[in-house]
Structure 1
Amino acid sequence: MTDRYLGSGTIPDTSDGLTGPVPAHLPQRLAITLWDFSWYTRAGSAEPYEDLDAAVADAASLGYNAIRICAAPLLLFGGLGLDALAEDLEIEGLGAAPDGGFYGQRTRWYDAPGGYRIDLRERLLRLFDATRRHGLVVVLASWEYQQSPAFAASPGWFDAIDAVPLGERYRVLAGAWDRMIEFLSRHGHRERIALVELHNEVDFSILPALADGGAAQVEWLSAQHPDLLVTASYGKPPHLAMHRVPDGLGAAQFHVYSYGVLDALQKRIDIRSEGSADFPNPELRALLRTDAPGVAEYGRAAEWKYRATVVTDQMIYGYDWVDADAWDTWLLEEYGTYREVMRREIESRVIAIAEWARAQGVPALVGEGWVGYTPLRGTFEEGPVGRALAEHGIDTALARGVWGVVLCSNAAPHHPMWALRAWQRAQNARILAAD
């Protein structure tokens, strides 16, 4: 036998160690729970985030050491004349529905009944105080050009940020973050900041492409705060052409969703569109609850709320009234056809993100994943199938040197998955013990 390179070259290919260095004051691995905007939109009486200290303590007890949030920088520090609103923000959710409930009542993330007021700047400090007491760090992001303002009772927040010209939005975001970072630093919380994201999922938000000014603002903000990691996140990074991601990001905080069988169902029932003439189509009607009202009878939330969010009226109606058991049954019966494709897609996307990060010399994170958007009471992702896919994603991330990872986008206090406490502890222990 003779050794033959067969095109492999002589430079060893390694994925040992983290993809890039992290600041010395931060944990060497992050087990992330995704609290998004829910930490202030689900904060009413008896809701998951009413007591912030208790919520943070609970996350710590499950082994999490990082929380990813919408910190609402434009509302709090955008210089847009919103200070009075920020100090007395009325949370409404999507508003009252004619059945006596509220729009989004059986929809993940949108199941916010509202009915209370908060001082969001004071609440942000209380969250950071709680993370300091319980030993967690915070990934700061903004969902404001994607959905956060839709939960307010007044359109004032959305109208103010929507009035910012499209080409100026990244600059205004960067300025708001600069002021927020200084505010948190003055209150002794700078070392709690794990990462600053200019905005969540820039590719699925009311923003220009990141290359059209966003990357330059990431670099500007990084220059103002060279001790912090600054980036922007993608909902669906160009996995097959990662060279299209602009340089200058301080971290690869990209999301990994493999819709697979879920996408097949969503297309079949036409649930993510808007303005479909035959909605709900026969396939969706076959999955609806027996007590589902008609679309016209159920009505719609206030028109401005749909402009303030990427979720459509068809999604709200469909998720509010689909029979979750029938939904799960369809997914489980069809999953076998998609299983290997979904596993390979998760693996290949994680690897693409990690290798891009390694080439850039920056840490990688998976701040959201793994299957996708399901009804609130659906159990596909919480069940054995979804957990196996999540574990496959976590395994791949750890093997490729990814710094931070969510167990699942649904593993948070405002989702039923939070009840899977032993599973969360076990997965978080694996993440934090990784070399």
Structure 2
Amino acid sequence: MNERYRGSGTTPETHTGLTGPVPAHLPQRLTITLWDFSWYTRAGDTEPYADLDAAVADAASLGYNAIRICAAPLLLFGGLGLEELAGDLEIEGLGPAPGGGYYGQRTRWYDTPGGYSIDLRARLIELFDAAARHGLVIILASWEYQQSPSFAATPAWFDAIDAVPLDDRYRVLAGAWDRMIEFLTAHGHRDHIALVELHNEIDFSILPALADGGTEQVGWLGSKHPDLLITASYGKPPHLAMHQVPGGLGAAQFHVYSYGVLDALQQVVDIRSEGNTGFPNDALRAMLRPDAPSIEEYGRAAEWKYQATLVTDRMLYGYDWVDADAWDTWLLEEYGRYREVMRREIESRVIAIAEWARSQGTPALVGEGWVGYTPLHGTFEEGPIGRALAEHGIDTALERGVWGVVLCSNAAPHHPMWQLRDWQRAQNARVLAS
């Protein structure tokens, strides 16, 4: 058939080069390790972030050049009367469990024993100083309207930010970021800021839609700091209708999770809903550890902590007491039915993000991905299947001109995946070589 009948048009499409320009002082590819709030909630003696300089040096040795964190701007610079608390923040985690240990002890991210206090403003400078020494940049975000305050020993932080009227939260966030940027600039660290996100996963946080005041504040903050990339992130952008994402973002920092077989398992064991009635069901009971307490014996964390985070009582109990081997076995046995759709979903979502960013002339990042939330000692995502899915996502991101990418949300010092050191070095090397 003659080429002119194939709908090819007259201008060839291009997917080469980055989706948008990157400030000259920043690396032209970012390989990101996700430290979220854990860099201050897992900082007790012997914990992964007890020695920040050592943790940053270790990340650099694995080939990372960027760290993405919750910088707690509302706590530190929100003007909400939290200054004294920020200077002596007691970390508790989700609190002690009646049968021993603590709530969330076998989860990811929530496995926080606590038991120490921290000056978070001083710690922020300590992190930036270490990053500068070891050649890394920092992606600044906030998880405060999603979960960070739940790890504190008192509800004071959460109560203060929760008292901000819903339609005023983006403005208060933007003002806090403005003051934090000036603070970091005064300490010589402006060039070490890779990106500022008004908030992490606005679609999964206690915030209005981004179009309802968020884009206006992104624009305001960007006008105050035109040399910096200012944005907000989506946990699940509308991949089939990306025109719904408001314009004006300084970067497309969106997340790509393909739950697939994991979502199927979560539905079977009914672990995502709330309330204990009829829980655990028979499917989950068959997967519990022999020493698992009843749901009544397990009890509940303090009620305000459930208000301060998205985690549910069912998830805490299930992840704390499921047999990780039984969990992995189910996923491995069922994965074949989901393999192709999970691969296609990762690929199509990365492409949607990249092409939206290219249409906006802005750099794209995948700051989180690829499978989803598994028990702490589950190995599905760290194993051959999870790594293959991660590599597929990385491949697609590099092919489509994505500026920054995580190897996996679990590739960080507070997760078991950090021990896959050769794999991380190999993946980081090819990201940076691209």
State the TM-score, normalized to the length of structure 2: 0.99
In structure 1, the residue matched to 2:370 is 370
In structure 1, the residue matched to 2:37 is 37
SS of residue paired to 1:149: helix
In structure 2, the residue matched to 1:312 is 312
SS of residue paired to 1:256: coil
Across the two proteins, how many residue pairs are aligned to each other? 434
In structure 2, the residue matched to 1:90 is 90
Deviation at 1:2, TM superposition (A): 3.6
**Residue 71 (str. 1) matches residue 93 (str. 2):** no
Deviation at 1:393, TM superposition (A): 0.1
What is the CA–CA distance in structure 2 between the aligned matches of 1:429 and 1:99, rounded to whole Å?
A: 45
What is the CA–CA distance in structure 2 between the aligned matches of 1:310 and 1:219, rounded to whole Å?
A: 28
- Cα-to-partner distance string for 1:4-41 (whole Å, 9 max, x where unaligned): 34112111111000000000000000000000000000
In structure 2, the residue matched to 1:48 is 48
What is the CA–CA distance in structure 2 between the aligned matches of 1:51 and 1:91, rounded to whole Å?
A: 16
In structure 2, the residue matched to 1:27 is 27
Deviation at 1:390, TM superposition (A): 0.1
In structure 2, the residue matched to 1:117 is 117
Deviation at 1:403, TM superposition (A): 0.1
What is the CA–CA distance in structure 2 between the aligned matches of 1:117 and 1:289, rounded to whole Å?
A: 33
In structure 1, the residue matched to 2:285 is 285
Match for 1:359: what amino acid?
S
Alignment of 1:141-156 (within 5 A): 141-156=141-156
Segments of 5+ residues of structure 2 without an aligned counterpart are none
- Cα-to-partner distance string for 1:107-143 (whole Å, 9 max, x where unaligned): 0000000000000000000000000000000000000
- Cα-to-partner distance string for 1:391-433 (whole Å, 9 max, x where unaligned): 0000000000000000000000000000000000000000000
Match for 1:175: what amino acid?
G
- Cα-to-partner distance string for 1:67-86 (whole Å, 9 max, x where unaligned): 00000000000000000000
Match for 1:371: what amino acid?
V
In structure 2, the residue matched to 1:415 is 415
**Residue 322 (str. 1) matches residue 322 (str. 2):** yes
What is the CA–CA distance in structure 2 between the aligned matches of 1:412 and 1:352, rounded to whole Å?
A: 26
Deviation at 1:100, TM superposition (A): 1.3
What is the CA–CA distance in structure 2 between the aligned matches of 1:182 and 1:272, rounded to whole Å?
A: 41
Match for 1:268: what amino acid?
V
What is the CA–CA distance in structure 2 between the aligned matches of 1:32 and 1:243, rounded to whole Å?
A: 27
SS of residue paired to 2:34: strand
In structure 2, the residue matched to 1:169 is 169
SS of residue paired to 1:318: helix
In structure 1, the residue matched to 2:11 is 11
Runs (4+) of structure 1 exceeding 6 A deviation are: none
SS of residue paired to 2:424: helix
In structure 2, the residue matched to 1:298 is 298
Match for 2:152: what amino acid?
A
What is the CA–CA distance in structure 2 between the aligned matches of 1:250 and 1:311, rounded to whole Å?
A: 30
In structure 1, the residue matched to 2:390 is 390
Segments of 5+ residues of structure 1 without an aligned counterpart are none
SS of residue paired to 2:164: coil
Task: Check conservation: 2:99, 2:297, Cα contact below 8 A.
Answer: no
SS of residue paired to 1:68: strand
SS of residue paired to 1:33: strand
Match for 2:257: what amino acid?
Y
Deviation at 1:264, TM superposition (A): 0.2
What is the CA–CA distance in structure 2 between the aligned matches of 1:288 and 1:416, rounded to whole Å?
A: 21
What is the CA–CA distance in structure 2 between the aligned matches of 1:316 and 1:95, rounded to whole Å?
A: 12
In structure 1, the residue matched to 2:61 is 61
SS of residue paired to 1:405: strand
- Aligned CA RMSD, in angstroms, stands at 0.6
Match for 2:201: what amino acid?
E
**Residue 244 (str. 1) matches residue 220 (str. 2):** no
Deviation at 1:277, TM superposition (A): 1.9
SS of residue paired to 1:370: coil
Sequence identity, in percent? 83
SS of residue paired to 2:179: helix
What is the CA–CA distance in structure 1 between the aligned matches of 2:4 and 2:228, rounded to whole Å?
A: 46
Deviation at 1:276, TM superposition (A): 4.9
What is the CA–CA distance in structure 2 between the aligned matches of 1:421 and 1:271, rounded to whole Å?
A: 32
